[in-house]
Amino acid sequence: MLTHAAEQPSRLAVRGPGGELTYARLADRIEGAARHLADNGLGPGVTAAIGLADPVDLLIAVLAADLAGATPLVGDHTWDRDRWTTVTAPLPAVPITTPLPAAPIAAPLPATPPMDASLPAAPLAAPLPDPAGPTGRRRARPDDLAWACFSSGSTGRPRAIVRTRASWTGSYHHLNALTGIGPDDVVLVPGPLVSSLYAFAALHTLATGATALLPGRWPGRALADHLAEASVVHLVPHRLPDVLERPGSLRVAVVGGAALAPGARQAAERAGVRVVAYYGATELSFVAADTDGRGLRPFPEAEIEVRGEGPLGEVWVRSPWLAEGYLGAAAGPLRRDEDGWVSVGDVAEPYRAGGVLRVRGRGDGAIQTGGATVVPEDVEEVLRKVPGVADVVVVGSPHPSLGAVVAAVIETPFSESPRRALLEETARGGLDWAQRPRRWYTVPELPRTPTGKPARALVAARLASGDPAIRRLA
């Protein structure tokens, strides 16, 4: 980013709810904020817990913390002090909940206790070549543990994941080659930067020298205005239809977080938008990509194995893009073997090296019913084809003799719900006996994670608690 500020200072770098900044002005803001942090003792060995509502202010704080030598940890700006304490424990962290000044001020930041010594902090980007800048910084290295972000799956206590600088920055040129993104693009990032999907997109845009449009959340009625200017968008699958209604100047949609809905790629082609879909996880970053609709194939420099016997096995990955682990030795699904392969429990069909990877979902979401194992994503893929189904979540519902039965919760924001007879007919035509839902429910809107994915565990919990908003479909 700093190189682009020197070479193209007047190019627009970011536009957010509060205005826009050129690359030169953005660099000035970051450098001034970094001096403020360093003057207040924030540097190597310190975690900066950043929760700011404005996405441009947040991005400046992230890059300033990096420049000062600290480890930026992005959280939700709506969290209160107790929530931050919960999600950062046992790691004490310095909160940054107001925009950073561009120059030092007298009032100091809170005390800066050291983070876990086993995971030393380090800057995200090389220090500015300015002798008057913050002192005590060392040259940035690719293996610096330089970025931390949260992952919680569908629900539960978020875990802070730490990764090296190169695990993100080293993949930038590969993504550019797959998508054709370059410095002349205007990239819409329509989601909160607390999501690693959107945070990566924003940082990649600046590293490329392009312009980032950062509304900070889904732009709603303003979407058409953004798309009239944007040439690229990063988003999750359930938002793709909204984009395709009025694609504007859009040429590429980079889609991650879940599988594409049936017919989504064909709809994009009709709208003149190329879709580059990818599979990965917060802990794994990029694993596989589908650039042409022929299926997911390994992302450059990634190796994939599907281990286990039978129709489904566990996905294991080895690549330069993997995270190092969880801050504070927090528990999580990430496992690593002695040869450097890792897994987060996702399951897939048997796989041949270099071939198409057919991911079937997260292993810990599987439903055990009457001795059979049902992968919810398999059922959801079939049911999404039914007219009137905006989205669907499939969960296990307790049963006294079968252990669980398959329950489908249909999102129906329309005036009329799809007929149960049609849903059951579709299930009979496309699903095995054990996969077919025995219980059907509707809800006006499914709860979702910050990345936009349906919050499966929260749906299951609400269903179990008898939430009146979830209605039984007669």
Mean pLDDT of 229-234: 98
- Pick the most confident of 111-115, 156-160, 464-468: 464-468
Domain count, the chain: 2
pLDDT of 130: 37
Is the CB of residue 334 less than 8 Å from the CB of residue 310?
A: no
Name the burial class of residue 156, with classes exposed (0-12), middle (13-18) and buried (19+) by CB atoms within 10 angstroms of its CB: exposed
**Residue range 281-302: average pLDDT?**
96
Please give the DSSP secondary-structure letter assigned to residue 233: E
Q: Which of 383, 400, 402, 401 is nearest to 446 (CA)?
A: 383
Please tell me the predicted confidence (pLDDT) of residue 464.
Answer: 87
The candidate with the shortest Cα–Cα distance to 37, out of 59, 57, 66, 58, is 66
CB atoms within 10 A of CB 254: 22
Domain boundary among 123, 152, 169: 169
Query: Is residue 72 domain-resident?
Result: yes
Q: Considering the domain boundaries, does residue 77 fall inside one?
A: yes
Q: What is the mean pLDDT of residues 284-294?
A: 96
The CATH number of the domain where 434 resides is what? 3.30.300.30
Does an H or E element contain 73, and which? strand 71-74
* CA atoms of 124 and 300, how far apart (whole Å): 23
Considering the domain boundaries, does residue 255 fall inside one? no
Domain that holds residue 9: 2-169
pLDDT mean over 226-239 = 94
141 has pLDDT over 90: no
Whether pLDDT at 57 is above 50 = yes
In this predicted model, what pLDDT tens digit does every residue of 350-365 receive, in sequence order?
999 989 999 987 766 7
Give residue 132's pLDDT. 38
Q: How many of the other CB atoms lie within 10 Å of CB of 43?
A: 20
Q: Looking at the domain assignment, is residue 7 inside a domain?
A: yes
pLDDT above 90 coverage of the chain, percent: 55
Mean pLDDT of the chain: 85
- Domain closes at, from 149, 169, 189: 169
pLDDT tens figures, 68-100: 888 899 988 888 777 787 777 766 688 899 999
Handedness of CA 248, 251, 256, 261 (dihedral sign): positive
Residue 118 has pLDDT above 50, yes or no: no
Does 398 score more than 60 pLDDT? yes
Token pair in block for residue 331: 């528990």
Most confidently predicted of 342-346, 397-401, 414-418 = 342-346
Q: Is 378 domain-assigned?
A: yes
Comparing CA positions, the residue from 104, 135, 100, 111 lying closest to residue 46 is 111
pLDDT of residue 144: 65
Instruction: State residue 458's pLDDT score.
Output: 83
Q: Is 24 exposed, middle or buried (0-12, 13-18, 19+ CB in 10 A)?
A: middle
With a pLDDT cut of 70, the percent of the chain lying above it is: 87
Residue 440 lies in a domain: yes
Residue 147: beta bridge partners? 163
- Is residue 16 domain-resident? yes
Is 456 within a domain?
yes
Of 115, 139, 169, at which residue does a domain stop? 169
CATH code (residue 54): 3.40.50.980
Q: What is the pLDDT of residue 104?
A: 53
Distance CA 137, CA 141 (A): 12
Higher pLDDT, 413 or 345: 345
Which tens digits make up the pLDDT trace of 194-210? 888 999 999 999 999 99
Phi, psi angles (nearest 5°) of residue 138: -115, 165
